[in-house]
Structure 1
Amino acid sequence: MTAITRGELDAPIPPPGRDEIGAMASTLGMLRDSLIERDRLEHERRRAEAEIRAARDTAQAALRELNAAQANLIQAEKMASLGQLTAGIAHEIKNPLNFVNNFAALSTELLDELKQTTRPALVALDSDGRAEAEEVIATLTGNLQKIIEHGRRADNIVKSMLEHSRGVTGDRREVDLNALVDEALNLAYHGARAQDQSFNITLERDFDGKLGRMQLAPQEMTRVFLNLFGNGFYAAAKRARENGDASFRPTLRVATRDFGEAVEVRVRDNGTGIAGEIRDKLFQPFFTTKPTGEGTGLGLSISYEIVTQQHGGTIDVDSEVGRFTEFTVRLPRQGNSRGAESRE
């Protein structure tokens, strides 16, 4: 009995007899059987709880994946509808816009000829008349230059709309992702320097040497990285201008990571940041935080489509106003184009 109280339920029990000791042995046997059954039920309860927890965790993970897939599907449907809409609008706008641009350029040339032809008549006018005529000609010339300038901007917007409406295409092949990211980073930096000689930023590279090669559409992914780098440059330079702190150093950090079945590219700048209320709008076509004339609002929209639809990946953003913005592009190594899957 002492052994049983210690939990040794397999201790031998004397065979029951007819005397008091036998009765006690019989009772002790029943007690041991009861304890064994209790331990079995406790073990079953714990196993059932573990199975319930595992099932709950699986269900929660499936729900998260379902919500993410639903969000991607809604975004893809919105993009498809907007693509069709923008294609129609762009085609309708392009023809009259071409007439505006062509006739504005032609009118500028005719105005130059008019100035040459009427020069003798202008000389014959008194000083007030000549000044008034020259002022009108200068105003007309300035107006035509503005028409040409904004016409070209509108033409670029129309081209971007048409490019967006066609979706993304591109042949997939095996490439070194680290080399692709580094090449795009150098290209974006020198492009920014060509536009503004005073531009400068510290570039930090943290490339995973185990990343290796993977299948993707290099031209399309280069477009994605150029857009992300360009946005990072813009935000960091803007903070440098507005900060007024001479010690502030604009910085863009690019990191790659290998996760086996997927790879990650993180682009982080220490710029102005993005407010939470507009973060959900970043990937919508034509949404931009840049001033008029500095952005069409299609860069991130096209990037989203390239990453999610063409490569089956994800693109997320984390930001804190006045501190940083970080975009994370995650690409599956064996990811297929969702658009291609839907056409099979």
Structure 2
Amino acid sequence: MTRGGRQPRLRTVLAVLAVVILLLPVMVIYRVFETELARQTEAELYAQAAFIEAAVVMALADERVRQAELGKQIRWRRWAASQGYRKAPAEFSTGGGEFNPVPLTIDPTRQPLLGVPRYPEPVGEQPVDLLIEAAGLRVEPLLRRAQLRTLASARVLDQWGRVVAATNERRGVFAHGMPEVESALSGRPASVLRARTEQPLPGGLWRKSLTTVARAGERTVYVGYPLIIRDRVVGAVVLGRTPRNVMKALYDRRGRVLASAALALLAAVFLAWLVSVAVTGPVSALVRQSRLVERGDARGTRPVSSPVTAEIRQLSDALARTAETLGRRDGYIREFARNVSHEFKTPLTGIRGAVELLGDYGATMSAEEHSNFLANIAGATDRLERLTADMLELARADIVVPEQQRFVLGELLDEIRERYAGRGLRVDVEGDALDAGISMKSAIADTIVANLLDNSLRHRASRVVVRALALSGERIEVRVSDDGPGIADEIADEIFTPFFTTAADSDGTGLGLAIVRSYLGRHGGEI
């Protein structure tokens, strides 16, 4: 019986798996490379923000000097108190002069993509920080000139979020509702990812994933960096720049990338070939071996010569043992069928002959002759019944499944002793294992002992000794001996052969010992 359809070959499956295994690291490397490019951009923006902060601080100092020359003395503490500057967090205060690098946190694989930043116009009259306003005027030309090289947009904000210097927008607009701005104005640096355009990504996970890769260059890294003088936050610097495109970066390093890809491809091909040799070849040999077993070829009992792996060797050995067992079973069935035919033929022939004689000459027979023929028919029928019953018992013994039932051996032997005492057989029970518990159905154990005692009766024994002895572990040995004639040496090897008997005249079928051996074998015993 074969299944419909066409299944892929194992070599094809292994090749596909090798390609998948090769692609998985590529996707991981792509994501890691993308993250590193984004973080490189973040680090550059923070470095630029630190220089812009220093430029603003110098511009503030120059503005204070200019105001002093005009006769307006500005004292910093009094000015900071009048403006209501926020106190900077201790870890970001610049008063101590210690090294305090900003940790890089940007991660394109985890962070959400925010919208394009918006800078609304002020509504109504807003407070103005004249000192920061003047400093912004001083640093704005520097921002615009630096953008020509760095390509980064930059904005300087006062403490209320008003733009006082910018590379792109006009001054005076506000940067409200942006997390990087709010964090920077509270004294803590922050970074986010924002879209460069208003065009949304298309729906659907697969299309969105492909479009995300294609539009990786349309994401912009924005950082907010606080402007801190002494321990007060006077404003913030906001910078934005698009990270370097992953595909362009790979193209710039195309020589190394192609060499690495070629090496990885060769490694994948080699591994696929190695697995194919280690698995596909032995599996094909197993298939050939199973086909030999299916045809009944004796070569199917020989294990695969080069299994390569332990699992293939175990499977091949199991298949060889199965083929050998099936061969023995097939021979046993053939021999059994031949014996059954022979054993049934004799009584059936006797019955048929008696019936024909009674039919032809029954009217002229005497009563004694008539009774003799009927007795022969009854005897042959009884023998057929015994053969049928013993054959059924042997079939049950061959397929019985051991059950975890326990009984006390001595109690069972006492019951059997009383039963056979009524049949004229004395059974003596002795030994040191009579109290042992046996893991077997008591009915099966009764059948085993009864068959042995029936053999003793058929061979004219009058006394049987059953001795139960404890062995090492949990095993016991039951010895059965009688005062009969014993077993001749020339037939000792044949007594377990089905239908072999030396007591055919005393109703023996030759199946009793075969039943005993089969039951014991199924329960891990032997005789």
TM-score, normalised to structure 2's length? 0.32
| Structure ID, larger Rg | 2
> Higher helix proportion, which one?
1
TM-score by length of 1: 0.47
